[in-house]
Structure 1
Amino acid sequence: MIPDCRLTAFVLFVSNIERSKRFYQNLLGLEIEMDLGVNVGFRNGLALWQKDFALNVIHGKQTPPVKGNDIEIYFETGSIEDAWETVCSQGVEVVHELREQPWGQRVFRVYDPDRFIVEFGEPMPAVILRMHREGMTEEEIAKKTTMPAEIMHQILVA
């Protein structure tokens, strides 16, 4: 069993992020927690990714969607290395190994039995604290992670 694991978001890969964002805001009244342009997170746990960006981040190239690889369920774990070892020991089909995303978060992805993508990632507060311990300044961390400065500062002073 993967230690310290919690469902954080259900992610939809969408063809037009602005149109989808308006739909979920205006029709359902969902409140945006964070808007990074190609990635939008709502307070209820739903997240949207611009499809072409998401598939490129995950697969490393422009990848046409096929059954299952355009929906992702996202979990966070404070023990990303242990989670990776657990998945490897269970013979789960891997989308990609543990790696660092462009924004500094370490993640890996696997397929569930129906080929839906299941992502496991470090919580962003842990990423920010790790970068700070490694000597990065607040400005460097904010630029790398694209996290709003006020949220990043709250994490560092906590």
Structure 2
Amino acid sequence: MKFICPLIVVDDIEASKKFYIEVLDQKITMDLGANVTFAESFAIQSKSTWTEFIDKPASEIRYQGNDAELYFEAPDFDASVERLKTCGVKYVHPVKEYAWGQRVVRFYDPDMHIVEVGESMMNVCRRLKAQGMTLERIVEKTMFPAEVVKFFLEGE
């Protein structure tokens, strides 16, 4: 078997398309009306058709389970965070930095699915170097192999 993509169920397909296009800069690769696939390999499905597919009433579809997320990385994390402030998103939490140095922010889409936007680990390594960390210290902090960190830093 080959995994294709995650699919999330949404109440308002048009509102969700607008959110993913305008807030997260996603491109649609296929729009079948009740099912929309985005270039970053995830799809949305209208709740009305989903209930037919699984033979369950709409009352059995629950949102805001807080048990999964769609994960995105931003080429310019700081600019993306500033842009999110103008989009009216409901935050799960503000920007936080984890022990390994990566900064992330999580918020909800229109149907209360969690969306995470993270700083790429390549950019984390480059930021840590710009802050004066040695290669050895970056390897220790990020837990990435030295070869990977060196590769990330080569393109600066």
Q: Same fold (TM over 0.5)?
A: yes
SS in 1 for 2:138: helix
Return closer, same or farther for 1:2/1:123 CA change in 2, 3 Å cut-off: farther
Q: What is the TM-score when the length of structure 1 is the normalising length?
A: 0.56
Aligned length: 100
Task: Give, in angstroms, the shift of residue 96 of structure 1.
Answer: 0.9
Aligned identity (percent) is 42
**What amino acid sits opposite 1:81 in the alignment?**
D
Which residue in 2 is equivalent to 1:153? Answer: 150
Alignment of 1:103-118 (within 5 A): 103-118=100-115
Which gives a bigger RCO, structure 1 or 2 (Cα 8 Å, sep 6+)? 1
Matched, 1:89 2:86: yes
Give the distance between the partners of 1:110 and 1:128, measured in 2 at CA.
Answer: 25
- Tell me how far 1:102 sits from its aligned partner: 1.5
Secondary structure, counterpart of 1:98 in structure 2: strand
User: SS in structure 1 opposite 2:136?
Assistant: helix
Q: 1 CA distance for matches of 2:88 and 2:68?
A: 21
TM-score (norm 2): 0.56
Unaligned runs of 5+ in 1: 8-44, 46-65
In structure 2, give the amino acid aligned to 1:69.
Answer: N
CA RMSD of aligned residues (A): 2.4
Correspondence list, 1:33-52, <5 A: none
Kindly indicate whether the alpha-carbon contact (under 8 Å) linking 1:80 and 1:121 is maintained by their aligned counterparts in 2: yes
